[in-house]
């Protein structure tokens, strides 16, 4: 896909704004981005549902923009919103799809039964689609996408709204397809899922590609190679913000932030007043005194976490703070995503 642009009629900006990337055969490729980033539009163009404004795109070597009809037999798509035919039963939806792709009656009947069974829909196979739950609808659309043998499978938010059982089940099917050599392009908002499932991930926003790499390489690239999370209690009289500032001053700490504190912060003066009156009113939850409040601090490091444990502990010792818990970790794909796309809502 090269320099792909899509501007919807009357829209002030491009929904897809010069996207170029390639997905290798047999790969699971995750397309991530905030709401409205242009993921579904991109999938729409690649699956011939949306007409591109400019640029070029091929799927399995077939030009989806100039020769959509020929391209359609090479891929299958599970769209974000149901496009099942509500005038047909679930079983008929499956059979009809295979008929459209030119499969024989014997093949399509047998394949439909097999998939209905595999997806736990045999008993509901002849009901009205209107009676299907969200998860059943999703399973039926995935079953439909497997009725013909596609080279490339597009899944637009396939696990949104699925219960954990269906989610695990779906990922087993997706891995099976990948093992059979099917290329998979998916979108998701679940960062853990994206990191676990995708060989490579592309992060888009405002129709542009911000990053494209393996999940591991993306997280390593984030400022700081590691994260150190401390649960500490500042010494009596010390202030948590001053303590964090001192920790951020340690050589090798790129950035420090307070994650959460135990209980809502209450000004020391208010607590002193409560104490003078015989302690907090009974309706208030018990909470540590301001001086003894435990805080969780996250430090983003630009070197290995183990090397900084010593210096960090020295700072805590010097200030008389008590350390309750330490966690070493890598930044997550979600950290990368927020770092690239910001915290604002779309």
Residue ranges binding ligand ATP (CB under 6 A): 8, 11, 15, 33, 35-41, 80
User: How many other C-beta atoms lie within 10 A of the C-beta of residue 273?
Assistant: 10
User: How many other C-beta atoms lie within 10 A of the C-beta of residue 150?
Assistant: 22
Residue with tokens 């002193």: 272
Ranked by CB distance to Mg ion, the top (closest) residue is 40
If binding is defined by CB under 5 A, does position 40 make contact with Mg ion?
yes
Contact 43/154 with Cβ under 8 angstroms? yes
Contact 225/286 with Cβ under 8 angstroms? no
Nearest residue (CB) to ligand ATP, 153 versus 295: 153
Q: Which stretch binds Mg ion (CB under 5 A): 36-44, 106-114, 243-251, 268-276?
A: 36-44
What is the rounded CA–CA span in Å between residue 184 and residue 190?
Answer: 16
- Residue 102 binds: one of ligand ATP, Mg ion, none (C-beta under 5 to 8 A by kind): none
Nearest residue (CB) to Mg ion, 40 versus 48: 40
Question: What interhelical angle do 105-118 and 134-145 show, nearest 10?
Answer: 140
3-state secondary structure (DSSP) of residue 90: helix
- Least Å distance, CB 157 to ligand ATP, is 7
Q: For residue 256, give both structure tokens.
A: 């420090």
Cα distances (Å, whole numbers) of residue 271 to 102, 104, 277, 284 = 76, 78, 10, 12
- Least Å distance, CB 200 to ligand ATP, is 18
In sequence order, the 6+-apart residues with CB closer than 8 A to the CB of 138 are 78, 158, 161, 162, 166
**Binding string to Mg ion for residues 49 to 88, with x set by CB under 5 A, is what?**
-------------------------------x--------
Nearest residue (CB) to ligand ATP, 80 versus 118: 80
Residue with tokens 């409560």: 274
- Residue 134 binds: one of ligand ATP, Mg ion, none (C-beta under 5 to 8 A by kind): none
Kind and range of the H or E element at 246? Answer: helix 240-248
Q: Which stretch binds Mg ion (CB under 5 A): 40-48, 158-166, 200-208, 286-294?
A: 40-48
Nearest residue (CB) to Mg ion, 23 versus 94: 23
Contact 98/107 with Cβ under 8 angstroms? yes
How long a stretch of residues is the chain? 346
- Least Å distance, CB 79 to Mg ion, is 9
List, in sequence order, the alpha helices (H) in 119-160.
134-145
- Residue 15 binds: one of Mg ion, ligand ATP, none (C-beta under 5 to 8 A by kind): ligand ATP
Nearest residue (CB) to ligand ATP, 190 versus 213: 190
- Least Å distance, CB 39 to Mg ion, is 5
Through-space distance between the first and last CA atoms of the chain, rounded to whole angstroms: 26
Nearest residue (CB) to Mg ion, 46 versus 316: 46
Nearest residue (CB) to ligand ATP, 15 versus 290: 15
Nearest residue (CB) to Mg ion, 80 versus 122: 80
- Residue 35 binds: one of ligand ATP, Mg ion, none (C-beta under 5 to 8 A by kind): ligand ATP
- Least Å distance, CB 220 to ligand ATP, is 26
Q: Report the alpha-carbon angle 85-28-169, nearest 5.
A: 60
- Residue 87 binds: one of Mg ion, ligand ATP, none (C-beta under 5 to 8 A by kind): none
**What residues make contact with Mg ion under the rule CB under 5 A?**
39-40, 80
């Amino acid at each position: 896909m090269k320099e792909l642009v899509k501007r919807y009629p009357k829209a002030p900006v491009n929904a897809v704004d010069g996207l170029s990337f390639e997905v290798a055969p047999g790969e699971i490729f995750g397309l991530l981005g905030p709401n409205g980033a242009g993921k579904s539009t991109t999938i729409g163009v690649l699956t011939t549902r949306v007409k591109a404004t400019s640029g070029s795109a091929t799927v399995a070597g077939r030009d989806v923009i100039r020769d959509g009809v020929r391209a359609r037999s090479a891929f299958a798509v599970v769209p974000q919103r149901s496009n099942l035919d509500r005038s047909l039963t679930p079983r008929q939806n499956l059979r009809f799809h295979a008929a459209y792709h030119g499969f024989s009656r014997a093949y399509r009947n047998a394949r439909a039964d097999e998939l209905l069974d595999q997806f736990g829909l045999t008993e509901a196979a002849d009901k009205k689609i209107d009676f299907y739950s969200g998860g059943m609808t999703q399973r039926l659309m995935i079953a439909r996408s497997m009725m013909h043998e596609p080279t490339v499978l597009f899944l637009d938010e396939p696990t949104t709204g699925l219960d954990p059982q269906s989610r695990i089940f779906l990922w087993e099917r997706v891995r099976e397809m990948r093992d059979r050599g099917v290329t998979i392009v998916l979108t998701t908002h679940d960062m853990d899922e994206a990191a676990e499932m995708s060989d490579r991930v592309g992060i888009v926003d405002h129709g542009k590609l911000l990053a494209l790499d393996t999940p591991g390489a993306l997280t390593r690239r984030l400022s700081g190679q590691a994260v150190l999370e401390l649960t500490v209690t500042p010494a009596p009289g010390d202030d948590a913000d001053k303590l964090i500032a001192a920790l951020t001053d340690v050589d090798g700490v790129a950035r420090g932030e307070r994650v959460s504190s135990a209980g809502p912060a209450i000004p020391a003066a208010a607590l002193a007043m409560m104490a003078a009156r015989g302690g907090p009113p009974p309706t208030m939850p018990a909470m540590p005194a301001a001086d003894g409040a435990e805080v969780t601090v996250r430090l983003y490091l630009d070197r290995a976490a183990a090397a900084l444990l010593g210096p960090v502990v020295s700072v805590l010792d010097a200030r008389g703070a008590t350390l309750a818990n330490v966690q070493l970790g890598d930044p997550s794909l979600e950290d990368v995503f927020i770092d690239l796309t910001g915290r604002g809502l779309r």
